[in-house]
Structure formats: structure tokens, C-alpha cells
């Protein structure tokens, strides 16, 4: 039996998902957790830990993924949401999501995803998969345009280091760090640290 959790602020949406899963007995699924908020999850007994947890991040937020894993370390979170922008998808994956489905996914595909995830696989809706692939490809392209030292400095910025600390780490002057950063901005056609970090998420 595969134990399933449904976390969605919308009670009607949760009820519909439970009903759809309960009507498909072929895969031996059982909804053991149904909640709308972190407060509700905290009241759940550990014995109710789901094998797979469907999470709508629309109102609960991406941080909820980590909270679920704190409560249920052995579950597998699959995001199930209307949100489709690639930054949100990548943030969910980084937070530990093992799959990502859009809410227009048919019930058979949801069930297939639950089974696949329980067996150790991962499933992403087609549009989500394309978005993630394009983001990865763009990041690879950006990196290939930069020199080894420029990539080191980007890594330092990603890790929150100041220009001074980056210079100290790599044995170069503060002015040299600034020159490398200006050169990096020019190569990537950007104007700020925020834009740089967005491209290397």
C-alpha cells in the first residue's frame, strides 16, 4: 500500500483529490494525511507519515517543502500547483521536491506519478520539464562564456562573499576583483549582482 498525503489550503480541492485517489483501487493507494496548513501538519501523528505527499505551494509557499521533511523525513514531496514559472520550480527542486505537476494534470497521471515517485523515480509535467531543461541549458551557456577566474568570482558572489573576501580567497586585489566583475557583466549583458545571481540560480 502507498500512503499518500494531500496538503492544500483549499479544502474543496483536497476533498476532490482524495475522492479521485480513493476511486482508483488498482494501485492500492490510501490517503493517510489531509491538511491545509503547517499547524495542521504538526498535529498529525508520525505513524500517519505518507510515502508520497502532494503539496500545493500556492498559499503555503515553497518553504513548506522543508517543513514537511522535518516532520516526515521519509516522505517524497511532489508539488501539485498552478504555479509554473521556472524560478519557482527550481526553488522547489532545491528545497527537496521529487516531482512537479500542474493542476491540470489528469488523475491517471497523478496516480502514475505517485507510484513512480514511491518507486524512486521523479515526474515533471511536460511544460515544467521543458522549462527546467531550458534553465539548465542557459546556465551552461553562461558558464561556457566565462573564464575560470570569472567563474570562481561568480561562485564567491553566489556564496555571499564580499568583493574583499573574494579577493582574499583567490589572492587578488580588490580592484582586480572589480575588473573581473565588470568583464563578467559585459559578457553576460547584465548590469547588477541581482541579475547575475538570477542567471546562476
- Domain assignments of the chain as residue spans, ordered by start: 2-134, 145-199
pLDDT of residue 89: 85
Report the distance separating Cα 120 and Cα 88, nearest Å.
23
Q: Residue 79: is its pLDDT beyond 80?
A: yes
Residue 199's pLDDT band, with cuts at 50, 70 and 90, is confident
Specify whether the CB–CB gap between 23 and 48 falls below 8 A.
no
Q: Is 135 helix (H, G, I), strand (E, B) or coil?
A: helix
Residue 201's pLDDT band, with cuts at 50, 70 and 90, is low
pLDDT of residue 137: 66
Instruction: Summarize pLDDT for 106-121 with one digit per residue, the tens.
Output: 888 999 999 999 999 9
> Which of 3.30.365.10, 1.10.10.10, 1.10.150.20, 3.30.830.10 is the CATH number of 145-199?
1.10.10.10
Q: Which superfamily does 2-134 belong to?
A: Response regulator (3.40.50.2300)
Report the distance separating Cα 146 and Cα 188, nearest Å.
9
Q: Residue 3: is its pLDDT beyond 90?
A: yes
The verdict on pTM exceeding 0.85 is no
Amino acid at each position: 500500500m502507498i500512503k499518500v498525503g494531500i496538503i492544500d489550503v483549499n479544502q474543496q480541492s483536497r476533498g476532490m483529490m482524495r475522492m479521485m485517489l480513493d476511486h482508483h483501487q488498482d494501485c492500492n493507494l490510501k490517503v493517510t494525511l489531509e491538511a491545509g496548513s503547517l499547524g495542521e501538519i504538526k498535529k498529525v501523528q508520525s505513524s500517519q507519515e505518507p510515502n508520497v505527499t502532494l503539496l500545493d505551494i500556492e498559499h503555503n509557499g515553497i518553504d513548506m517543502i522543508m517543513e514537511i521533511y522535518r516532520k516526515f523525513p521519509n516522505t517524497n514531496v511532489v508539488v501539485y500547483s498552478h504555479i509554473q514559472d521556472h524560478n519557482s520550480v527550481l526553488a522547489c527542486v532545491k528545497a527537496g521536491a521529487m516531482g512537479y505537476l500542474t493542476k491540470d494534470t489528469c488523475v491517471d497521471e497523478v496516480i502514475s506519478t505517485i507510484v513512480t515517485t514511491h518507486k524512486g523515480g521523479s515526474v515533471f509535467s511536460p511544460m515544467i520539464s521543458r522549462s527546467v531543461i531550458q534553465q539548465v541549458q542557459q546556465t551552461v551557456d553562461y558558464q561556457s562564456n566565462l573564464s575560470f577566474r570569472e567563474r570562481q568570482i561568480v561562485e564567491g558572489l553566489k556564496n555571499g562573499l564580499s568583493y574583499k573576501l573574494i579577493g582574499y580567497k583567490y589572492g587578488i586585489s580588490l580592484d582586480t576583483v572589480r575588473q573581473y566583475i565588470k568583464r563578467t557583466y559585459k559578457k553576460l549583458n547584465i548590469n547588477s549582482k541581482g541579475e547575475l545571481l538570477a542567471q546562476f540560480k
